[in-house]
Structure 1
Amino acid sequence: MGKKIVQSETKTDRHGLIPFFRQIAADHPDPDSILFLCIGTDRSTGDAYGPLVGTMLQRQGWSVLGTLEHPCDADTLRDALREAERYSVVIAVDACLGKPGSAGMYRCRRGPLRPGEATSAGLPPIGHYSVAGIVGENGPKPYWILQTASLHRVIQMAEHTAEAVEAAWHSASIADYA
């Protein structure tokens, strides 16, 4: 997937999303060179974070694979990866589970994410950059935790992510986002 990017990860609340995306926008100002690969399914509340973000970004005019209408899940991911090769920059978006007290936070990374890691899905790493929305606390039954994540929280997290992308590339002020 193009040039190698040094990996670093930050855990942040919604206010850290804008600086993360602004740095990507500074490095890659042309929105047409960017693809958002939004991973997940609409059949699980927590795992719908990616497709919700994808749907919102698509409405803003971004190139997206993975929406509520056409999810990018384990069954379609390999085809999506082939299509993603046409883009200079791929930003992967997925839900994840985290440590106690971290639900509602985001893991932002300069480098790929590994989809399905909590459920040992064995999928390949994806993206030049990535955002993993922590939709619940990790536990012994990750599928159940994803299924029962708060829909309100997941929608709110998706909205914050899409708003941060819009703010980063279209110079909306942070005050508009707060």
Structure 2
Amino acid sequence: MIIQIHYKERNAAVHLCKSLTLLFRAAGERPLVFVCIGTIKAIGDALGPMIGTLLQDSELKNTHIYGTIKEPVHALNLQDTMQEIHEKYNHPFIVAVDASLGHLHHIGYIQLLEGPLFPGNSMKKSLPQVGDIHIKGIVNTIGPYNYMMLQNANEKSVRNMAKTIATALFNASALTEKKPQKAADHVV
């Protein structure tokens, strides 16, 4: 794990941004692609599409965003989306973003990890791995009925976590561009 931070922690987006900036710079000239996984059918699972929408609305340059509220990336289209990305971009640096379930004391934490994300694990789905690095937002606890846990996540917390992650991704992207954009205090 590269960093784990609670979204309510002071300067959480700044700390996450610093780690992301180092990773984006190390990726060099590779096209930067964000794959924000999830669906709006369950509020907890909407974390990825919320982040994708915030980033899309911020009009980042030289960054490619897949997975928004209007066009989500989910279990049914993930494989096709990944195939499209690999056909369209030469050796992309992929950042996967998804909601996760965890232990009670981990709710609200954002984790940045090296290596691919294995989406659908909590739902017992076998989906393709995604990403060179990945970000997980822990939205609720693991339980006997994980889909219900995603449905019963706290909407305000999920939205605030999405804003924190989107702000960090936006700023790290802006700071690593050839002609950097002005960093933002938040992306909304």
What TM-score comes out, normalization by structure 2 length? 0.82
Q: How far 1:125 sits from its partner (Å)?
A: 1.1
Residue type at the aligned position of 2:152: T
Q: In the alignment, is residue 152 of structure 1 matched against residue 156 of structure 2?
A: yes
* Match of residue 93 from structure 2: 89
Q: Secondary structure at the match of 2:104?
A: coil
* Match of residue 25 from structure 2: 26
* Match of residue 123 from structure 1: 127
| TM-aligned CA distance change 1:173 to 1:98, over 3 Å | same
Distance 2:75 2:58 in 1: 26
Number of equivalent positions: 168
Distance 1:52 1:29 in 2: 27
* Match of residue 179 from structure 2: none
Identity of aligned residues (%): 32
Extract unaligned runs of 5+ from structure 1: 1-7
Q: How far 1:104 sits from its partner (Å)?
A: 0.8
- Residue from 54, 57, 63 that aligns with 2:55: 57
Q: How far 1:163 sits from its partner (Å)?
A: 0.5
> Residues 28-80 of structure 1, C-alpha deviation per residue, up to 9 Å, x if partnerless?
365x8111111000111000000000111111224111100011111111111
Distance 2:2 2:23 in 1: 14
Q: Secondary structure at the match of 2:119?
A: coil
* Match of residue 70 from structure 1: 71
* Match of residue 4 from structure 1: none
> Residues 113-172 of structure 1, C-alpha deviation per residue, up to 9 Å, x if partnerless?
110111111112110110011001111111000001011011101100111112223346
Extract unaligned runs of 5+ from structure 2: 176-181
Distance 2:85 2:103 in 1: 31
* Match of residue 44 from structure 2: 46
Residue type at the aligned position of 2:106: S
Q: How far 1:91 sits from its partner (Å)?
A: 0.5
Q: Secondary structure at the match of 1:96?
A: strand
Once superposed, what is the RMSD of the aligned Cα atoms? 2.0
* Match of residue 178 from structure 2: none
Contact kept, 8 Å, 1:40 with 1:47, in 2: the verdict is: yes
Q: In the alignment, is residue 164 of structure 1 matched against residue 162 of structure 2?
A: no
Contact kept, 8 Å, 1:49 with 1:154, in 2: the verdict is: yes
* Match of residue 36 from structure 1: 34
What TM-score comes out, normalization by structure 1 length? 0.86
Runs of 4+, deviation exceeding 6 Å:
none
Residue type at the aligned position of 2:170: E
* Match of residue 114 from structure 2: 110
